[in-house]
Structure 1
Amino acid sequence: MYQKPRQVCDPLCQALNIMREAVIAEVSTQLSEVVGVIERHLEPTLLAVHLYGSAVDGGLKPHSDIDLLVTVTVRLDETTRRALINDLLETSASPGESEILRAVEVTIVVHDDIIPWRYRGVTGREGVR
């Protein structure tokens, strides 16, 4: 995961950074296991794994999940997808089901499907311009 260089910030910014690091530390063991599973299944096509959501914005609660965005070079075939899902289920738990594991939500995107970003605007609807 990429981390931007730290910049000088005010005390509130510093407090938020400390809180963010503490939250990430709270899920780091499970996160390492999940990333290991992703790497094992997607190694040849894996470009990036990004942690996002409440784990990085300071809003992680006891039943919050871990959100990961995975970027790959090609679409997953069905065999790889099923094997990945089965192994991810071993490193995840439904909210409140485990004191150690959190639910994990993994979104996989193909790089060329999102770069360059193409936005299709909705037209012909009331309130949309």
Structure 2
Amino acid sequence: MKRRAFIAAAAAMAGTGQAVAAPAGSEPGVGVIFVGASWCAFCKSAAPVLAAVTQPAGIAVLVASKDGRPIPPFADVVDAGSHPLAQQITELPTTLIYSQARGGVTGTIRGYRNARHYAQLVAAGLRGAGAG
């Protein structure tokens, strides 16, 4: 199962008791939903930092774009308007940390101050969700 499909399915099934298999090579049951837009300067600054924190650990990332366009370095996006969690978010960027073991979103990071601060928040959120 692709990482994007894992996060989308896991978020949709949160609280239903249904299990979703983690993609091969990723941290089991932990993922990130990044809600942003291609025109948002803060989103464009946060996305590479998010990739740098999650990719080495094999953490799945789903990018939900408010304008349906890619946010580099993430080329694959879903429309935020059709995602059950992202459609309600208005502050950009917003980063949701998802834990399958805990049955839903365990952390929310709103906004972006600078790379170091954002990386620390993401890392702390992932640790809190059960990712190494």
With the length of structure 2 as denominator, give the TM-score of the two structures. Answer: 0.28
- Choose between structure 1 and 2: higher strand proportion: 2
Q: For the pair shown, which has the larger CA radius of gyration, 1 or 2? A: 1
Name which structure has the greater RCO, CA cutoff 8 Å, separation 6+.
Answer: 2
- Choose between structure 1 and 2: higher helix proportion: 1
